A = this chain, B = another copy of it.
Amino acid sequence: MPLNQTTYVILGLLSIEPNLSGYDMRKMIRRSVGYFWGESYGQIYPTLKRLTAAGLIAPGSSGSSGRKRRQTYILTELGRAQLRQWLALPFQNDPPRNEFLLKLFFGREAAPGVSVAHVRDLQERNQRALATLEEIEALAQAGNPPNPHFPYWMQTLSLGKALTQAALEWGETALKELTALEDVAARTEQAEGKRAKKKRVETKKHVHRNDGTPRAKARGTK
């Protein structure tokens, strides 16, 4: 019986709050760990079935009288044990794939302005990310009472913020250096006056879809 990573998010969430439905879990994941973890229904629902079969979770009391057609779950003792066991295992580094860095690495081959535009794009995304993290933090601080999970949640937020801020600072100087570099390149080319190959091109304005839409699928140009 294959226990994938989705398993542990589910077990973890149920350890924090029992009687969640698959739908709830998806929502909670987006709100709470969304900036470093994602799950789709296509993973969640089948996994719920398998975990139930394996006895790690069990159908929960769906809120006394309430809604029909809504299956919630609770953690079994077996499930809790499994979660703890997983927690004690060394973590795995996610396979490193950063498209931004890849494009920057090959930046010399791009038209002038392209890499600069990417960095600007990154800055914007990180500014939004930072704002989101700070919002979450404020909200969490508000619900202050002695929630025992609180310190752990704060630490994850703290790392998220630290990384985002570091990236933002890098972006500031990178922007200066790359702008200088590509300005020179563009002027040199202009002076040479030949082959129009490297046209000054701006990247398409990034249509950002923060909500509702699913995560982007890694895919080339058809």
Contact = CB atoms under 8 A, between A and B. Distances in A.
Given A80-B109, A93-B100, A163-B166, 14 more contacts: A5-B97, A7-B220, A35-B96, A37-B101, A87-B109, A91-B122, A94-B218, A95-B218, A101-B159, A105-B152, A108-B148, A155-B177, A155-B178, A166-B166
Contact of A38 (B96, B151, B166): B96
B163 A8 contact: no
**How many copies of this chain?**
2
A12 interface: yes
10 contacts: A3-B222, A4-B218, A4-B219, A4-B220, A9-B102, A33-B105, A36-B96, A37-B96, A93-B99, A163-B167
B98 A36 contact: yes
Interface string A41-80: 0000000000000000000000000000000000000001
A108 B149 contact: yes
Contacts of A139: none
Tell me whether chain A's interface is mostly helix, strand or loop, or mixed: helix
Contacts of A4: 218-220
Contacts of A121: 90-91
Nearest to A147: B108
A168 to B, nearest CB: 10
A85 B5 CA distance: 35
A33 B96 CA distance: 10
